[in-house]
């Protein structure tokens, strides 16, 4: 099944999401279906499942699961969460509570997990669009520079060191 954004259109989806948080500016990622699990003594299926959205707002990035089971939706500020990927689950912690999202589609799981980790670990403003004119940016040169960085072992090791330090600091 196609994500809600594709089935209904971006305007209708934004309208629905803005009823939850009026500050939402855009949808930056979606998943067709995610199910919430809560951890206490053991993992228990939660009462929230449905399409998942990662949205951008002036407050930061918002994770929303529009619940198909009731009117209670999952709404979390991404920057306030600590993420971990385990199999088909995206585990997140906040204020001592441990929760997980199971994704129906493994590719959507990978894409959402990568995006959320990048937002929460690297920099909250990573996905905030810069105010520049398109003709001021040489996208070909930018892509080449990014590929050079990704292929540079020293850069990757330094990046990993920063990532580990931030992860240790947030524990």
> Whole domain around residue 145: which residue ranges?
136-171
- The pLDDT confidence band at residue 70, using thresholds 50, 70 and 90, is very high
> What mean pLDDT comes out for the span 26-39?
94
55 and 86 in a single domain? The answer is yes
126 pLDDT higher than 60:
no
d(CA 98, CA 92): 6
Report how many domains make up the chain: 2
Check which CATH number belongs to the domain holding 78 and give it. 2.30.29.30
pLDDT in tens, 81-110: 888 888 888 998 888 899 999 999 999 999
Residue 128 has pLDDT above 70, yes or no: no
| 124 plus 141 within the same structural domain | no
Q: Are residues 122 and 148 in the same domain?
A: no
Task: Please name which of 148, 18, 116, 135 lies closest in space to residue 73, comparing C-alpha atoms.
Answer: 18
Torsion sign across C-alpha atoms 17, 21, 27, 28: negative
For 137-153, how does the pLDDT look when each residue is reduced to its tens digit (9 = 90+)? Answer: 667 776 766 676 667 67
Task: State the pLDDT confidence band at 159, using cuts at 50, 70 and 90.
Answer: low
């Amino acid at each position: 099944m196609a994500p809600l954004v594709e089935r209904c259109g971006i305007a209708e989806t934004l309208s629905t999401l803005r009823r939850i948080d009026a500050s939402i500016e855009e949808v930056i990622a979606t998943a067709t279906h995610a199910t919430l699990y809560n951890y206490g003594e053991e993992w228990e299926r939660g009462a929230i499942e449905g399409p998942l959205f990662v949205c951008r707002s002036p407050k930061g990035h918002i994770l929303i699961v529009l619940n198909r089971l009731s009117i209670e939706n999952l709404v979390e500020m991404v920057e306030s969460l600590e993420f971990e990927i385990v199999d088909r689950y995206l585990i997140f912690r906040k204020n001592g509570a441990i929760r997980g999202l199971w994704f129906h589609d493994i590719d959507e799981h990978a894409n959402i997990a990568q995006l959320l980790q990048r937002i929460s670990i690297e920099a909250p403003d990573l996905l905030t669009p810069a105010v520049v004119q398109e003709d001021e940016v040489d996208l070909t040169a930018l892509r080449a520079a990014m590929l050079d960085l990704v292929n540079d072992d020293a850069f990757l090791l330094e990046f990993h060191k920063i990532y580990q330090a931030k992860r240790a600091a947030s524990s």
